[in-house]
Structure 1
Amino acid sequence: MTGMADLTRLTAAELAARIADGTVSAVEATQAHLGRVEAVDEKVHAFLHVDREGALAQARRVDEKRAAGERLGPLAGVPVALKDLFTTRGVPTTCGSKILEGWIPPYDATVTRRLRAADMVLVGKTNMDEFAMGSSTENSAYGPTGNPWDLTRIPGGSGGGSAASVASYQVPLAVGTDTGGSIRQPAAVTGTVGVKPTYGGVSRYGMIAFSSSLDQGGPCARTVLDAALLHEAIAGHDPLDSTSVDAPVPALVEAARIGAREGSLAGVRVGVVGEFGGEGFQDGVMRRFDEAVRLLTDLGAEVVEVSCPSFDKALAAYYLIAPAECSSNLARFDAMRYGLRVGDDGTRSAEEVTALTREAGFGAEVKRRIMLGTYALSAGYYDAYYGSAQKVRTLITRDFERAFGQVDVLVSPTTPTTAFPIGERVDDPMAMYVADLCTIPSPLAGNAAMSVPCGLAPEDGLPVGLQIIAPALADDRLYRVGATVEAAFQARWGHPLLEEAPAL
């Protein structure tokens, strides 16, 4: 019998296989991961809420179904964590904000419902930058999350809690959201795998909105295959989401298995994005990226440099479009229907109560973005700012279209630097925003992208991510290339990169 502590070190695929063949029960797997949460999360602070009783009850149902001979999903009994902006019936959902403190949704998001339908075990809700606005998880109203590689450093953002929960072996899988890079950027700095699916590939119903034309849920995992398994479980058309793509989900798991098995990228054309490098990029990050490009060539890929000139304007466009949409989406938090209410003593108007509630409930970064967005949408400025940003978005989409006319996938560093110290950029919003420099173009165009580990930076021994970008609806290309690269790197290193992380 596998030891309880050992269960937390298994990949999701390995754990699912052991549960399926009866070597391990779902309850045992869940207890092992809950024990790990109890042992290390006081230091990491990846979770905002742990649903111990709910998780064990779900695990018992899985074991009962299996004993009864019922058909179960490929990830049945595997623990999973959810970023705290997916509504979860009966479980607090705060979006990392005081304005929703204690709110318990009466319904499940589609992603939550699909995880339950897949017989997975929902362990809890993970920490995040408030309303997903940030690049470090320092903007959470409930305190920052630490990077398991170095607890004094950020785990990325806004979904640092999801990435950290996976990197610290508290769960094998987690779901995050990516608006400007909030799955891929945390994956890069924690040495994990993170995927932003094609926009509309995973339902946004019940995913509390930040920027509706950019937000996309996706998987966080320790391996490419695990990410593929989770991606297939949550993906697919949803009539409850008007932006959901009505198209078959690509064969993601098959693509990952083929990539790992064949170990070759012969016939695959890879474009290196020329705009991502140079000033502002850490030397060690570029060294690991250059090694990854050489590895792609060694694996048989045809590698060429591709220019996407409009990418230089992506950061500016994003920080007009996203705040504009958030200023509209967050107008619903008015103290009238749910959440925090401040100043309602019978002497104040509804407008005054709303103003007092927002002042007390929203953090500094959320207020900053609401003000930026409201200004960009105001009369006399709409065309100059928001309208111009949307035109840049079109140019970025055209750059991608031209690039994908030449190559099958694009690659770049996922982040310009490794994880920076907690507190280093908190008073410098522009320095913080630059952390998403490489990840922002994909959400603007709506295509698919992945981050996979490609080594440790020599300066600080912290993880570096390789970003792989594919056209919309070609998510399977990410998994084939990502799994091939992952297998080659692990053969070179002799073990998964995460095994080099210090013990917590």
Structure 2
Amino acid sequence: MTELTNLTISEARAKLKGREITAVELTDAYLSAIDAANGALNAYVTVTPDKAREMAKASDARLADGKGGPLEGIPLGVKDLFATRDIHTQACSHILDGFKPKYESTVTQNLWNHGAVMLGKLNMDEFAMGSSNESSYYGPSVNPWKAKGSDEKLVPGGSSGGSAAAVAAHLCAGATATDTGGSIRQPAAFTGTVGIKPTYGRCSRWGIVAYASSLDQAGPIARDVRDAAILLKSMASVDTKDTTSVDLPVPDYEASLGQSVKGMKIGIPKEYRIVGMPEEIEKLWQQGVEWLKDAGAEVVEISLPHTKYALPAYYIVAPAEASSNLARYDGVRYGLRVDGKDIADMYEKSRAAGFGKEVQRRIMIGTYVLSAGYYDAYYLKAQKVRTLIKRDFEEAFHAGVDAILAPITPSSAFAIGDKELAADPVKMYLQDVFTVTLNMAGLPGISVPAGLDHKGLPLGLQIIGKPFEEETLFKTAHVIEQAAGKFTPAKWW
């Protein structure tokens, strides 16, 4: 029989229901894999073996009684941004040292209600601020992929780097992640996995450590499109504790897989052809167009004229919201406290010691753009730009476009400690050039692996959809996945 950790969620689900394997066996296989690999990959910041085995035993009992839920016995990893009751939840930041919440996030509670098993908490950029997982207090997670003929360690992308690395290296069957400006889709592209950022409001944000509340959205990272559909069905729900969550029925996303895309109109935004875009990305994009045409879709060029303003507007709105959200971390009630001569001194010392460089940078940018003399010039203007970006998409969809095909990243995964990117934060921010528009407009987007570059590293394509039409994304991504095939890294860890 195949190694248990090689089973996708849909395969494991069938074997568990057929009693060919037990949830305890499957969980133990993943715990052994984590034990063997985490020293090299640093994907998990906390592993919860006792909790995992306890949950797996309960799953086996339910399966024996014929009462198994949709995810019964499936072992998952959880991004360290999601609150997990009595278990390490620190957003990979020093300022939340020792924090173990007394509550569970709505998304993870939904998963446990459906029978999933928790393996542990996954590494991420501190407070989800970053595109490479290098801002984590626990050090960077390592991409399971390596370039041909090179031993250089690569980033898994960010902020959900630990989630993507763990899924790609088969250290969990699937993982929760969050996307504020591309933090599900970019790491998925860098690791050859599938990641979907659902429509804003599709998943509850309650119990997820906030970065930028009007942009943050939870979603899954999985090995293939089917697994992502299975996970999102369980993660999504309306929630009275989150007034931005939307009260719409959650469809059976898996049922949309295999449906025809014949007659669908796919838009290609001309503004995404940026200066200096590598030929390989352009070629891959064109290949995606051909696959969809072969499947019967009609492909048309569209214009999203305000795209060029998306990145600067995003890097005003997101830090502004972060500076407000992160004001609560002051060393008084929980987390790190550095004593000072008075309370103001204690605040300053705790925050200076607790927040990493990137988080400090974004708090300062955010505070600056919200300050009295600059609010109108920056923040208000950025919000107006955001409205125009949203309108661009609305006009394209109104003109009959069903979905949009675009690149996700301007390159494949880069090296950990890349000197050029480390020296210039703006160059790092450019990693988000194709992804931030969706967060600004609140739209759903899926990242699907579509090929390898000349270094043998994975590249992805993203499909952008209308609000709450995730089924269209799954259906279209499945066509690309069938044409491109699946990609697995060669094991070195």
TM-score category, normalised to shorter length: over 0.9
1:288-345: per-residue Cα shift (whole Å, max 9, x none)? 221111111111110011110101100000000000000000000011111100015x
Structure 2 counterpart of 1:96, which letter? Answer: C
Residue matched to 2:6:
9
Matched, 1:412 2:432: no
Is the partner of 1:77 in helix, strand or coil? coil
Deviation string for 1:21-80 (max 9, x for gaps)?
1000000000001111111111111111000110011000001122233x2222210110
Residue 169 of structure 2 corresponds to residue 175 of structure 1: no
**1:188 aligned residue:** 189
Query: In 1, Cα distance between the equivalents of 2:178 and 2:276?
Result: 26
Query: Greater shift after overlay, 205-214 or 273-282?
Result: 273-282
Aligned: 1:395 with 2:396: no
Asked if the contact 2:233/2:250 (under 8 Å) is kept, the reply is yes
Q: Of the candidates 463, 467, 470, which is equivalent to residue 472 of structure 1?
A: 467
Structure 2: which amino acid aligns with 1:56? R
Kept after mapping to 2: 8 A contact 1:25/1:63: yes
Supply the distance in 1 between the matched residues of 2:114 and 2:277 (Cα, whole angstroms): 41
CA distance in 1, matches of 2:97, 2:229: 33
Distance 1:383 1:29 in 2: 55
Aligned to 2:149: none
1:333 maps to a residue whose letter is: Y
Once the 2 structures are TM-superposed, how far is the Cα of residue 427 of structure 1 from its aligned partner? 2.4
Q: Secondary structure at the match of 2:347?
A: helix
Alignment of 1:67-82 (within 5 A): 67-69=64-66, 71-82=67-78
Residue in 2 that maps onto 1:218: 219
Aligned counterparts, 1:408-487, within 5 A: 408-424=402-418, 425-458=421-454, 460-487=455-482
Following the alignment from structure 2 to structure 1, what is the Cα–Cα distance between the partners of residues 427 and 278?
14
Q: Tell me the SS of whatever aligns to 1:275.
A: helix
Query: Which amino acid is 2:389 matched to?
Result: I
Is the CA contact (8 Å cut-off) linking 1:184 and 1:195 kept in structure 2? yes
1:360 and 2:353 are equivalent in the alignment: yes
Task: Assess if the C-alpha contact under 8 Å between 1:250 and 1:473 holds in 2.
Answer: no
For residue 280 of structure 1, report the CA deviation from its aligned partner: 3.4
Q: What SS does structure 1 have at the residue aligned with 2:19? A: coil
Partners of 1:482 and 1:202 lie apart in 2 by: 20
Are 1:378 and 2:378 matched, yes or no?
no
**Structure 1 gaps, min length 5:** 491-495
* Mapped pair 1:201 → 2:202: yes
Shift of 1:502: 4.5
The answer to whether the Cα contact below 8 Å between 1:250 and 1:474 also exists between their aligned partners in 2 is no
Post-superposition shift, 1:426? 2.0
Aligned counterparts of 1:171 and 1:389: Cα–Cα separation in 2: 39
Given the alignment, which residue of 113, 118, 131 partners 1:117?
Answer: 113
2: CA distance between counterparts of 1:387 and 1:278?
27
Q: Which amino acid aligns with 2:41?
A: V
Is residue 2:490 matched to residue 1:497? no
2:247 matches 1:251: no
- Whether the aligned pair in 1 keeps the contact of 2:71 and 2:111 (CA below 8 Å) is no
Which residue number in structure 2 is paired with residue 493 of structure 1?
none
Divergent runs of 4+, >4 A: none
Distance 1:57 1:282 in 2: 49
What residue in structure 1 maps to residue 85 of structure 2?
89
| Deviation larger for 125-134 or 273-282 | 273-282
* 3-state DSSP of counterpart to 2:218: strand
What is aligned with 2:98?
Answer: 102
Q: 1:54 aligns with which of 47, 51, 55?
A: 51
Question: SS of the residue aligned with 1:339?
Answer: coil
Task: Establish whether residue 369 from structure 1 lines up as the match of residue 365 from structure 2.
Answer: no
Per the alignment, in what secondary structure is the counterpart of residue 205 of structure 1?
Answer: coil
AA aligned opposite 1:55: A
Tell me, what secondary structure is at the counterpart of 1:426? helix
| 2:284 paired residue number | 288
Q: Distance in 1 between matches of 2:449 and 2:65?
A: 41
Letter in 1 for 2:487: L
Q: How many residues align?
A: 485
Provide the rounded CA distance (Å) in 2 between the counterparts of 1:48 and 1:9.
22
Q: What is the identity percentage for the equivalent residue pairs of Structure 1 and Structure 2? A: 48
- SS in structure 1 opposite 2:423? coil
- Cα distance in structure 2, aligned partners of 1:286 and 1:462: 16
**One-letter code of the match for 2:310?**
A
1:63 aligns with 2:60: yes
C-alpha separation in 2, matches of 1:288 and 1:102:
45
C-alpha separation in 1, matches of 2:179 and 2:155: 17
Q: Which moved more, 1:75-84 or 1:146-155?
A: 146-155
Structure 2 SS opposite 1:497? coil
How far is 1:272 from its partner?
0.8
CA distance in 2, matches of 1:292, 1:429: 31
Is 1:39 aligned with 2:36?
A: yes
Task: Note if 1:272 corresponds to 2:268.
Answer: yes
**Partners in 2 of 1:461 and 1:277 — Cα distance?**
23
Which amino acid is 1:322 matched to? Answer: A
| 1:86-137: CA deviation from partner (whole Å, max 9, x where unpaired) | 0000110110100112211111000111111011001011100000000000
Q: Which amino acid aligns with 2:285?
A: F
- Whether the 8 Å contact between 2:190 and 2:460 is mirrored in structure 1 is yes
Residue type at the aligned position of 1:189: F
Task: Give CA-to-partner distance per residue, 1:426-476, whole Å, 9 cap, x none.
Answer: 221111000011000001000100000000012x11111100000111111
Report the 3-state secondary structure (helix = DSSP H, G, I; strand = E; otherwise coil) of the residue aligned with 2:139: coil
For residues 131 and 91 of structure 1, the distance between their equivalents in structure 2, rounded to whole angstroms, comes to 17
Partner of 1:321: 317
- The one-letter amino acid of 1:106's match is K
Letter in 1 for 2:163: S
| Equivalent pair of 2:292/2:479 in contact (CA under 8 Å) | no
Aligned counterparts of 1:43 and 1:280: Cα–Cα separation in 2? 34
Is residue 132 from structure 1 mapped to residue 132 from structure 2 by the alignment?
Answer: no
- In the TM superposition, residue 503 of structure 1 has moved relative to its aligned partner by 4.2
Deviates more, 1:198-207 or 1:59-68: 59-68
Q: Measure the CA separation in 2 of the matches of 1:497 and 1:168.
A: 11
* Partner Cα separation in structure 1 for residue 276 and residue 134 of structure 2: 22
> Does the CA contact (< 8 Å) of 2:193 and 2:223 recur in 1?
yes
